[in-house]
Structure 1
């Protein structure tokens, strides 16, 4: 017998950018393989600020309800009441999604409800539908909703804290994507049932890699290209010490334009990076800031890079960049600049990757980069095994979600 799950998510095609899109879409595509039919409830495209190509699967039923972005649709001279942005700028979605969700529930009789953060309104919608219908709810929290100083706005932090408490109280399961985030959730809610807290990490989409053409390598010699693909947050992935390390190695003639190139693709903060680079004249000879590419092309570029760069600061030790799993699948040498005590470093070490340096130390970065370049040029750079890589696929993650859904429904019926 086919079971149904109502999936409530803001991040869904044709929204452009964000790992949340791939997580929800991949879950929806693979769930039927495990006896679950998804029904996706998302926002009207007008609510999206950046639209891209719609790569959604036509076989997945998608329903879009009324939603506005307060900052664009409800602002007067660029300002809007704080009430219209709590817990986020899409709170108006709740007004359209709850009635729409009730209609879908009456028509399709789903066995479970699933909602995805970081748009907290999705959890509010799921909470409302769960309270109105009694259908078991799984809250895919992913990263922490609250943390020390996060969200920065104290009022929003209180609201997020309330939503998290409601999920612990009412949801059949609350899901995190990293061990650290799961531990933090348990510490904030020590009375939570251990069976209620679940770990389902992010992953990579094999279908994208299967169809991406690897970038052809030029026959003529070229500088070693180290690629960082994706957003570089000024605090959470601060490249300042990296630039200082590159400047030192450049001045010592350990690297140069003829043998090294750092490509920062789609940083989303190019102006900030240029300001940092100006402190080290000459970096523009080896560092290139490049615009975003369509997702398929970005994956192809990863497959063709000489090396891949991952950045994650110590203030994100309980988070793992979704890019990490794509990097592992690309099977290119990987240099991670991150805190050795964080979940990112632990995941890499478990995969056999030890080319890791401290992001906050220019001296450590310089040493790690020289070692990394030596290992790459002598074909000794560590790569993850095919077995470990396959365990991080989104198909494997969906199997974990299906098992959680099965346990949830079974518990409700016994």
Structure 2
């Protein structure tokens, strides 16, 4: 049986989408004759917690740990709320940032390169070097963000010549929020230099989207494979809400919230009393203040229910009772390759998906390709309005629609098989 050493920051009890990918790969790797050993921080400062995920760690998995210095813990002394929010990736618009937020973003972008977990690199290299000198591993895998973890792989490869796979769950210098970090020219060049070194030295690179793959292919000649995120099992059909629930599960950033959606809903409410009696807008996860304000300005607050952060199990239950599932992305070139992890569990819920995002959005095309719903642009208010009305009237006459889409290629075990094939080839 081959052995893989997996370096990841996010691991149960961490919550949010970052933990799911490698928790599930680890769950299925043994089925492909690969024994995973996981290396994680001993005392992480996770912005989100979901203790229910601890029960999903496979029995007998060996987990190595070393302490980490977390600057975010000190930032909480000045502003716990701002520290948690920025750490979660929710960054307010420039004109609405407080002085402390602007300072924290400047420090985050220019003093912690590539990110605030950089202080874990050196002690991790020292510790793992001793482990790798005593034990035989066939491959080392690092997964980011945080992209500082790839620097651990870079140093270990230099010292020990071990085969190394760098897994990018998100882009590095091209990710949307990078421009909001108030980077100086030298800091921007440092990010680019580190990214270039990782991309040129890793034996193989994994991305979660073809857009990111194409971006990296312009920067390196190293082999790149796309292995998307996925779902663990189809959700069983259950009794759905009597209300017409339009639901979004996960963090909702200000730029990710299209005003045309809320305007379309407001116009339907004005014209249709039946819709007024049945509508519920349910948002679960971290919601930016700008999103709440844009909904309230249109008088929709009486229909709005904010759940806050929910466990993974609760998120699945909310998806399963929804009439429409919202998949929203910031309208920019940088986000065309972003495929939110939630899309795969949306697929598994078999509920109609309303995807609104940038032109040529990879996730939107996946919704259309799997026949799981519709994909519209930020300027398509009338189309959004018409589609929501169609879904509402269909539920009124026939009940909640269950999509008949073939999504088997996105099952976590199928995707782990692709990873195992790559490990065997490398």
TM-score when scaled to structure 2? 0.84
Q: Which runs of 5+ in 2 are unaligned?
A: 80-102
Structure 1 pair 395–149 and aligned structure 2 pair: CA distance change class (3 A): closer
Inter-partner Cα distance in structure 2 for 1:100 and 1:50:
27
Q: Provide the secondary structure at the position in 2 that maps to 1:355.
A: strand
Displacement after TM superposition at 1:264 (Å): 1.2
Change (3 A) 1:144 1:337: same
The question of whether the paired residues in 2 share the 8 Å contact of 1:177 and 1:201 is answered with yes
Which runs of 5 or more structure 1 residues have no equivalent in the other structure? 409-414
User: Which aligned pairs between 1:1-80 and structure 2 lie closer than 5 A?
Assistant: 2-17=1-16, 19-53=17-51, 54-55=54-55, 56-73=57-74
1:278 corresponds to = 296
- The aligned residue for residue 190 of structure 2 is 159
Write the distance in 2 (CA, Å) between the matches of 1:226 and 1:117. 32
Deviation of the 1:163 alpha carbon: 2.5
Q: Is 290-299 or 158-167 further displaced after alignment?
A: 158-167
Deviation for aligned residue 1:135: 0.5
Shift of residue 94, structure 1, vs aligned partner: 0.9
The answer on whether the counterparts of 1:48 and 1:69 sit within 8 Å (CA) in structure 2 is no
1:293 is aligned to 2:324: no
8 Å CA contact 1:354–1:382 kept in 2: the answer is no
Task: Give the Cα separation in 2 of the matches to 1:148 and 1:202.
Answer: 18
Residue of structure 1 equivalent to 2:337: 318
Query: 2-side partners of 1:284 and 1:226: how far apart?
Result: 14
Residue of structure 2 equivalent to 1:412: none
Partner of 2:250: 230
Equivalent-residue separation in structure 2 for 1:11 and 1:328 (angstroms): 24
Distance (Å, rounded) in 2 between the aligned partners of 1:317 and 1:275: 26
Relative distance call for 1:175 and 1:260 in structure 2 (3 A) is same
- Report the equivalent of 2:121: 94
Q: CA deviation at 1:34?
A: 0.8
Change (3 A) 1:390 1:106: same
Shift of 1:370: 1.8
Pairwise CA distance, 1:382: 7.1
1:125–1:42 CA distance, 2 compared to 1 (3 A): same
Computed over aligned residues only, the root mean square deviation of the Cα atoms, in angstroms, reads 2.5
- C-alpha distance after superposition, 1:345-389 (max 9, x if no partner): 21112112352322344333212222333444455957243xx32
Which of 348, 353, 360 matches 2:372?
353
Residue 274 (structure 1) shift: 2.3
Structure 2 contact 151–198 (Cα < 8 Å) conserved: no
Deviation of 1:14 (Å): 1.5
Q: Residue 65 of structure 2: SS of its match in structure 1?
A: strand
Residue matched to 1:198: 225
Q: CA deviation at 1:158?
A: 2.8
SS in 1 for 2:64: strand
Alpha-carbon distance, 1:110 to partner: 0.7
| Equivalent of 1:308 in 325, 344, 351 | 325
1:170 to 201, 206, 220: 201
Q: Which residue of 2 aligns with 1:383?
A: 403
Following the alignment from structure 1 to structure 2, what is the Cα–Cα distance between the partners of residues 255 and 25? 44
2:75 and 2:270 mapped to 1: Cα distance?
52
Task: Point out the more displaced range, 151-160 or 303-312.
Answer: 151-160
Residue 27 of structure 1: how far off its partner (Å)? 0.9
Cα distance in 1 between the residues matched to 2:203 and 2:237: 43
Structure number with the higher helix fraction is 2
SS of aligned partner of 1:89: coil
- One of 110, 115, 133 as aligned partner of 1:106: 133
Instruction: Give the aligned partner of residue 216 of structure 2.
Output: 185
Cα distance change on mapping 1:378 and 1:138 into 2, 3 Å? farther
C-alpha separation in 2, matches of 1:228 and 1:157: 34
Q: Would the alpha carbon gap of residues 46 and 381 (structure 1) be closer, same or farther in structure 2, given more than 3 Å must change?
A: closer
Structure 1 residue 248, shift from structure 2 partner: 1.6
Find the counterpart in structure 1 of residue 346 from structure 2. Answer: 327
Does the aligned pair in 2 maintain the 1:338–1:357 contact within 8 Å? yes
Check conservation: 1:70, 1:85, Cα contact below 8 A: no
Closer/same/farther in 2, CA of residues 48 and 289 from structure 1, 3 Å limit: closer
Determine if contact 1:67/1:92 at 8 Å carries over to the other structure. Answer: yes
Q: Matches of 1:203 and 1:157 in 2, distance apart?
A: 33
Q: How many residues align?
A: 390
Q: Which residue of 2 aligns with 1:129?
A: 156
Q: Distance in 1 between matches of 2:291 and 2:77?
A: 32
1:133-161 CA-to-partner distances (Å, cap 9, x unmatched) read 00111100122112287512335543332
The SS at the match of 1:276 is helix
Higher mean displacement: 54-63 or 248-257: 248-257
